[in-house]
Structure 1
Amino acid sequence: MPATPERARDLASALKTIDDVLAHFQVVGDLARDARTKLAAVQEQAPGERQLGTTEALSSEAAKSWIPAPRGPVQLTRRQQQVLELLVQGVSNRRIGRTLHITEQTVKAHLHMIYRKLGATDRTGAVVIAMRFALVPEHLRAGRPQPARQIPSETPL
């Protein structure tokens, strides 16, 4: 196709749009990194010292309001606990379903109940609350993979 002024304008416009989108992704990435850094700082400090070590440090009261407390004691079913532990590991709904041998729709139903019980509005909120209030095993809060389970060896008869 021959290059026309109209085609050149269209290409320039498309490139500008792509640049704008990439700039927005960069901003979102920066926000996500900042949030992870702040969450890690909250987790690393002793319970009585919940201040973030940044120039915009949150006071203990602000940190408590930033990470909402669950509404009353949290009573999760065994399956909800399994879903929550996989959620904390960053596993997708589809993968959670495959791992637990349930449908993706059932995963969504369990997540809805987990959100209600924790007082969360989304996946990120549920993970933050679960980690902040030690609702998942220590190895998950520390970001380590699940320890390998011992499989009993079969003895030949």
Structure 2
Amino acid sequence: MIDRTNVVPMADRRITDGVDAAIVALDELLAILEKLGDFARRARGGLPAGREQADECGAVFVPEQQGVPRPAEPEQPADRVQRLTRRQLEVLNLLTQGLSNRRIGRSLHITEQTVKAHLHMIYHKLGAADRTEAVVIAMHRGLVPRGHRAGPVQD
């Protein structure tokens, strides 16, 4: 009699072989991407544009060295933060009150698409990923009054 407890069916063996092959291929791909990243960092460090930008801000240009971690980027000074336009501030103020895009548009007599365009620029300038983060950042920076509370909106 044949002991079948340690026998792997042929279909399972093919799946296992396929998974192993995929893992090997991913490892090779990651190694290639790592080499490409190192190459790009070396190339970027040798570009004259990087040196010129460093000279303009009075900084010392130090090419990135492999294996040396980069220091964290300092926060932008207040004068270097992109300023919001008057209209973007109006949209942001209504956003802090909890209004939907449609209601913001009605309040400002603009289309919902225009509201979305303003919000996109607001997110970009504030470095926010969504409405909630934009409101929190705006409140921390004092761009909108803190006294506004989101509550039921009445027409």
Common topology (TM > 0.5)? no
Larger radius of gyration: 2
Q: TM-score, normalised by structure 1?
A: 0.43
Q: TM-score, normalised by structure 2?
A: 0.44
